[in-house]
Amino acid sequence: MNCTIRKQGRRLLLLAGAFFLASQFTAAGKEWAVYRGGDGPGAGKNIVFVTGDEEYRSEESMPQMAKILSVHHGFDCTVLFAINKEDGTIDPYQNDNIPGLHLLQSADLMVIFIRFRDLPPEQMQHIIDYIHSGKPIIGVRPSVAAFKFNRYQDQPYAKYDYTYKGDDFYGGFGRQVLGETWIKHYGKHQEESTRGLIAAGMENHPIVQGCRDIWGPSDVYGLTTLEGECTPLIMGQVLSGMNPDDPPNPEKNLTPVAWLKKHRGAPDRESYVFTTTMGHGDDFHSEGFRRLLVNACYWLLGVENITPAASKVDIVGAYNPNPIGFHRHKTGLKPVDHQWPEPPPKQD
């Protein structure tokens, strides 16, 4: 009798423990979205997307890119979001909370698409550790102004602020890591779109292969000079309107909108960074722009058989982002709403 009771007790403890672990996994999983890759050139490589911006709909475009890389190319992808501390919804205006940044420890590539984040030390440290790791980075559009520290301006990492003026890290994360900080809109915002042209002499670079038609409603960002060893890959031609067939503005010069930069995170750790200042939510309707990002992932990760000109970058599922602009994000959504119920089947 006592033996039976003890066995039942142990069984109940084991079940309780399993339930606790499962509930913890489920609760944690709701704070980010995971897209498991399958067969493909990217199999075994892990990409972590860090999102959080108020204007350009990174919370919608980066889950789509994660799906493309997972379904068509086999990469494991995780998307992190700015999460409202009160209700757990995706909230770009919660600028001090991106759960899951510890997952960068196992990432092979970080794709960062954030703006004006004011992260606490325990979260910011994971990004700094990754920057120093010698692993590659992709920075998208407003990430040139990734950090703006108000609450944590007295922290040692405050030099990552895009307005930092000290000679030791002038221009903060944007300039020192990505190649440039926020300067201004060169094309008129929401009035002049961007035609992306392959930079002279870069026609054979693997990242631009198959990128025959890059256009987006994003305007060209202004630059001073690119910091460090930078190689422009795509030049932005300012168009006189918001349609792909609008003529160029003859008064505005070609300006880099995508480049490679060598970055030395630590004295003995050098890596490459790919930065693009395109990234309007509707830029991702451009097949050429999507391919540019996919090719960059392949090249930065050293994946063999880099995507050929005919590589598949078709939209996976639906992609209908809200219009860009402040206070226009879809409200009430949680990361689970971006998550596939099950890993999606491979698409032919």
The predicted model gives 153-164 an average pLDDT of: 96
Asked if residue 150 lies in contact with residue 120, where contact means CB atoms within 8 angstroms, the answer is no
Give residue 339's pLDDT band: very low, low, confident or very high (50, 70, 90). Answer: confident
Residue 93, in any domain of the structure? yes
Strand locations in the chain, DSSP E?
32-35, 46-52, 76-80, 109-114, 137-140, 184-185, 194-198, 214-216, 221-222, 230-238, 255-266, 269-276
Residue 4 pLDDT: 47
Residue with tokens 């926020």, as numbered in its chain: 182
CATH number at residue 313: 3.40.50
Give, for 282, the enclosing helix (H) or strand (E).
Answer: none
Domain contains 205: no
The residues, any chain, with a CB within 8 Å of residue 188's CB and separated by 6 or more, are 219
- Segment 76-129, tens digit of pLDDT: 999 999 999 999 999 999 999 999 999 999 999 999 999 999 999 999 999 999
Phi, psi of 290 (to 5 degrees): -60, -40
Residue 225 counted as domain residue: no
The CA distance from 150 to 161, in Å, is: 10
Question: Is 113 contained in some domain?
Answer: yes
* Phi, psi of 280, rounded to the nearest 5 degrees: -50, 145
Residue type present at position 115: R
Strands 230-238 and 255-266 turn out to be: antiparallel
Q: What's the gap between Cα 314 and its chain centre? A: 18
Partners of 262 in the β-ladder: 272
Task: Give a yes or no: residue 61 inside a domain.
Answer: yes
> Token digits for 348?
């032919």
Q: Is residue 236 part of a domain?
A: no
Residues 6+ apart with CB under 8 A from 116: 53, 54, 95, 142, 145, 146, 147, 148
Domain that holds residue 131: 45-184+259-328
Q: Which two tokens stand for residue 257?
A: 């909108």
Number of domains the chain contains: 1
DSSP string, 109-161: EEEEEE-SB---HHHHHHHHHHHTTT--EEEEGGGGG-B--STTTTSGGGGGS
Question: In the β-sheet with 32-35, what is the strand arrangement from edge to edge?
Answer: 32-35, 76-80, 46-52, 109-114, 137-140, 269-276, 255-266, 230-238, 194-198, 214-216
Calpha distance 307→118 (Å, rounded) = 36
User: What is the DSSP secondary structure assignment for residue 217, as one 8-state letter?
Assistant: S
Residue 74 lies in a domain: yes
Q: Whole-angstrom distance between the N-terminal and C-terminal Cα of the chain?
A: 60
Residue-wise pLDDT tens digits, 242-268: 999 999 999 999 999 999 999 987 778
226 found inside a domain: no
Give per-residue pLDDT as tens, 53-73: 999 999 999 999 999 999 999
Phi-psi sector, 179: left (phi>0), alpha (psi -120 to 50), beta: left
300-321 pLDDT, tens digit each: 999 866 655 558 999 999 999 9
Tallying the residues shown for the chain, one arrives at 348
Cα separation, 269 vs 205, in Å, equals 24
User: pTM of the full predicted structure?
Assistant: 0.89
Q: Helices H, strands E: what count in the chain?
A: 5, 12
Q: Name the region of 190 (left: φ>0; alpha: ψ -120 to 50; beta: rest).
A: left
